[in-house]
Amino acid sequence: MSALVGLVAPALGAATTVDRLTFAIAASVIIIGAIGVVMSRNPVHSALMLVMTLFGVAVLFVAQQANFLAAVQVIVYAGAIVVLFLFVIMFLGVDREENIGEEPLRFQRPLAVVLVVLTAAGLLLVGVNTKWAVGARSVAGPAANQPGGDVAALGRSVFTTYLFPFEATAALLVIAVVGAVVLARRPRTHGSEGGPAPVAPPDMSDEALRAEGEEVAP
Amino acid sequence: MSLGGQWYLALSMVVFAIGALGLLVRRNVLVMFMCVELMLNAANIAFVTFARMLNDIGGQALVFFVLVVAAAEVVVGLGIVVAIFRRRKGTTADDLHMMKG
């Protein structure tokens, strides 16, 4: 591996001991956290391990001069998404230990391990042995040594080259919010309580939920 | 300067494999969601690495969009989990067999 690094290092500038040490620590944190997410019996521990992994990824972003993305990674992922996970875990009360020793489907785990090992080996073979830095330059602009740093470069890129995808993400977020509200709404009963008439016309998701409920609920 | 991109790509692929393994072997829907987040983060590491290797800000812009899509996906996915949990007292994938033919 060090010979490989020697091959690419001249093009990128020599890596110092601090760089190597930073990468080693962040990579161990990321991998330990990732294994912890998969192996923890308690979903709360999985979520906390996920936070550890996300912080390690943010460190690697900083090491690669993506400072804005590192900040967003911590704020959005660790600050919002994991908190949402923890909130739902606590809300549903599913934070009890799960027996991960039992295996309902025979051969599922060995098969999954074999498939994943094959996939990882193929990816590593391709990723490490290929010379990536080839091909046409995109229109997005260079990343390094831009006026205003990576924040300004990213802002220029998002608001010019990627303006249409940016607007599309706005629509996506609105759709996600509406979807979450519709899903989280409590399905109405069939007026058996003698309450006032339904305030809104029924929609598809409520119909589906209600049909499902009549079948199962007492 | 930082290390060569190969190291970052190798790490990204290992994290992706761990996430894929978790998605295949775990049965708790919430933990499966977290494994999807792991895989998205592995892709993000690769994007940022390519942005540095090719000196192209497009990779970082893509990470930005991946973050937005991940947030939307988690919001809708957890909404579905909450809606299902009202019907069935359990959040493992084995409890969700109502669409079986």
User: Are B18 and A35 an interchain contact pair (Cβ–Cβ within 8 Å)?
Assistant: yes
Write out pLDDT tens, residues A54-90.
999 999 999 998 999 999 999 998 888 999 999 988 8
Domains of chain A: 1-98 (1.20.120.1200)
Write out pLDDT tens, residues A88-137.
888 887 767 666 666 677 788 888 899 999 988 988 888 777 766 556 66
Burial class (CB in 10 A: 0-12, 13-18, 19+), A164: exposed
Rg (CA), chain A: 24
User: Are A94 and B21 an interchain contact pair (Cβ–Cβ within 8 Å)?
Assistant: no
User: Are A12 and B13 an interchain contact pair (Cβ–Cβ within 8 Å)?
Assistant: no
- pTM across the whole model: 0.80
Rg (CA), chain B: 17
Rounded CA gap, A94 and A44, in Å? 9
Rounded CA gap, A52 and A71, in Å? 15
Domain ranges of chain B: 27-90
Which of B8, B55, B78 lies at the smallest CB-CB distance from A88? B78
CA distance B99 to chain A (A): 10
Provide CB contacts within 8 A for A73, sequence distance 6+.
A54, A57, A58, A61, B44, B67
Tens digits of pLDDT across chain B (101 residues): 567 888 898 999 999 999 999 999 888 889 999 999 999 999 999 999 988 888 888 889 999 999 999 999 999 999 888 888 887 777 777 777 777 76
Q: Which amino acid is at A1?
A: M
| Packing angle, helices B5-25 and A2-12, rounded to 10 | 120
Which of B31, B67, B80 lies at the smallest CB-CB distance from A76? B67
Distance of CA B9 to the CA centre of its chain: 17
Query: B69 and chain A: CB distance < 8 Å anywhere?
Result: yes
Backbone angles phi, psi at A41, to 5 degrees: -80, -35
pLDDT surpassing 60 at residue A218: no
Which of A50, A117, A209 lies at the smallest CB-CB distance from B34? A50
Which of A4, A30, A118 best probes binding to B when mutated, by most B CB atoms within 10 angstroms? Answer: A30
User: Are B82 and A165 an interchain contact pair (Cβ–Cβ within 8 Å)?
Assistant: no
The answer regarding whether domain B27-90 maps to CATH 3.20.20.70 reads: no
CB A31 within 8 A of CB B42: no
Three-state SS for B92?
A: strand
Query: B18 and chain A: CB distance < 8 Å anywhere?
Result: yes
Rounded CA gap, B79 and A58, in Å? 27
